[in-house]
Amino acid sequence: MKKVSLLAPGPTPVPPRTLLAMAQPLIHHRSSDFLEIFGRVREGLKKIFKTNNDVLVFCSSGTGAMESAVANLLSPGDKAIAIRGGKFGERWTEILEAYGCQAVNLDVEWGYAVKPEDVAALLKADPSIKAVYVQALETSTGVAHPIKELAQVTKDTGAVLVVDAVSALGVYDIPTDEWGLDVVISGSQKALMLPPGLAFASIGPKALEMMKTSKCPKFYFSWAKELKNQGANKGTFTSPVTLFMGLLDIFELIDEMGLDNIYKETEIKSKAFKAAMAALGLELYSKENASTGLSAVEAPAGIDAQDVVGWLKNKYAIFIAGGQAQAKGKIFRVAHMGYISEFDTLQAISAIEMALAGLGYKFEMGSGVAAAQKIFGEA
């Protein structure tokens, strides 16, 4: 069996010490020990989200918390803007429609960031719009949307801003309270370095007000119920005890590193990887606001990006991601977030070079690795 390398934008590798923390004997989710753990989880999340708002925890993948931000804010027939600059943006529309809400689709060309003035114009033209749904980092294109500026746009309107930061929280600074973000969503399996299975939603005052009049159906993902119970350090249903133990270890790890250092290290890995791709003559798919959390790279003309992804998987057990929908076959994506080291990054570059050479692309072998080494050497 080959050693598996997880270098796709989720799930990312889990640090060994965190795996050990999750090997502790199970305790009961209604025990006083677990209540204490729940309290520490709530406090720790506030630090990472940089908020005094409640941050609810759900036992689901990130999409569960996204769904909760439609079900708990809106009523059937309500209008909401879905910023669609990629696959995850499209998910907002699907959720809105599943709940009988009207999606006002703001389509952004894939590879580009939304223009805040376009959102402002839509809100001005129709004051009945109740919410704006966006990704901080649109993982399918590698583009970071301008969240701080969007919050300026929604601030003095009746609309709430809901930010899917599943692939952005812990990657770069997203200060929830300072920027006035009404709802911020995240998940366990990206920069938070845990297995999949936890989703989070921070809920600000404006969102709490809107919640009171929401008539969409909800049961498992009811914010009102969870606010009451989690406010008393209890899950409404059986909590994922093991993942909570892992999360406590992640908090310690993040404290030791410091969030700012984590952002910085992610940035260096991203810079080195992007320099390597440029040295190989490859272009980024993200034409503006290319994020540090991952790189989305266009395959050279005549080479199917899925073949690069397949080569790495089949020959070396290295998992990177391909493109989704319209970007399928055109791009491959490599993560820099979470527990991924400089040498994991060099490994990915080296493997991509070997795949490209095998697929017939002409370039100087090692030039990508050398470009990245230079940046790591100077960092």
Ligand X SMILES: *Cc1c(COP(=O)(O)O)cnc(C)c1O
CA distance 325 to 315: 25
Residue that has been written with the tokens 């770069």 in this structure: 172
Question: Token pair for residue 337?
Answer: 């977030």
Nearest-CB residue for ligand X: 62
| 90 lies in the site for ligand X, by CB under 6 A | no
DSSP codes joined into one string, 35-60: HHHHHHHHHHHHHHHT-SSEEEEESS
Residue 68 CB, nearest distance to ligand X (Å)? Answer: 12
State yes or no: residue 176 binds ligand X (CB under 6 A).
no
92 forms part of the interface with ligand X (CB under 6 A): no
Considering only residues 53, 141, 167, 292, which one is a binding residue for ligand X as defined by CB under 6 A? 167
Pick the piece of the chain touching ligand X (CB under 6 A) from 57-65, 239-247, 277-285, 322-330.
57-65
Segment contacting ligand X by CB under 6 A, of 95-103, 161-169, 233-241, 343-351: 161-169
In this complex, which beta carbon is closest to ligand X, that of residue 167 or of residue 347?
Answer: 167
Nearer to ligand X, 206 or 333 (CB): 333
In the complex, what is the shortest distance from the CB of residue 329 to ligand X, in angstroms, rounded to a whole number? 20
Least separation in angstroms between CB 284 and ligand X: 17
Region of 13-21, 48-56, 61-69, 74-82 interacting with ligand X (CB under 6 A): 61-69
**Does 292 sit near ligand X (CB under 6 A)?**
no
Instruction: Tell which residue, 203, 211, 165, has the closest CA to residue 183.
Output: 203
Which of 139, 138, 199 is CA-nearest to residue 8? 139
Binds ligand X (CB under 6 A): choice among 40, 63, 105, 263:
63
Structure tokens at 125: 């033209």
Is residue 240 a contact residue for ligand X (CB under 6 A)? no
Q: How far apart are CA 357 and CA 352, in angstroms?
A: 8
- 239 touches ligand X by CB under 6 A: no
Write out the H or E segment, with its range, that includes residue 264: helix 259-279
Other CB atoms within 10 A of residue 69 CB: 27
Report residue 84 as tokens.
């669609």
329, 302 in Cβ contact below 8 A?
A: no
Contact between 85 and ligand X (CB under 6 A)? no
135 is a contact residue toward ligand X (CB under 6 A): yes
Does residue 89 belong to the site contacting ligand X (CB under 6 A)?
no
**Cβ-proximal residues to 234 (8 Å cutoff; 6+ apart), any chain:** 30, 35, 38
Q: Does 111 bind ligand X (CB under 6 A)?
A: no
Q: How far is CA 283 from the centre of its chain?
A: 23
User: Counting beta carbons within 10 angstroms of the beta carbon of residue 225, is it exposed (0 to 12), middle (13 to 18) or buried (19 or more)?
Assistant: middle
* Residue whose pair of structure tokens reads 């990915």 in the numeric block: 348
If you write DSSP's letter for every residue of 292-319 in order, what string do you get?
SSEEEEEPPTT--HHHHHHHHHHHH-EE
- x/- mask, ligand X, residues 302-331, rule CB under 6 A, reads ------------------------------
- Report the residue from 48, 166, 348, 355 that binds ligand X according to the rule CB under 6 A: 166
Going by DSSP bridges, is the β-strand pair 5-6/183-187 parallel, antiparallel, or unpaired?
Answer: unpaired
By beta-carbon proximity to ligand X, the closer residue of 164 and 344 is 164
161, containing H or E segment: strand 160-164
Answer for the pair 318, 312: CB distance below 8 angstroms, yes or no: yes
Nearer to ligand X, 61 or 292 (CB): 61
Cβ closer to ligand X: 96 or 166? 166
The CA dihedral of 172, 176, 182, 185, to the nearest 10 degrees, is: 50
Binds ligand X (CB under 6 A): choice among 164, 226, 342, 344? 164
- For ligand X, which residue of 5, 7, 10, 202 counts as binding (CB under 6 A)? 10
Q: Should residue 61 be labelled a site residue for ligand X when binding is judged by CB under 6 A? A: yes
* Residue placing its CB nearer to ligand X in the complex, 291 or 350: 291
Contacts with ligand X by CB under 6 A lie at: 10, 61-63, 88, 135, 139, 164, 166-167, 187, 190
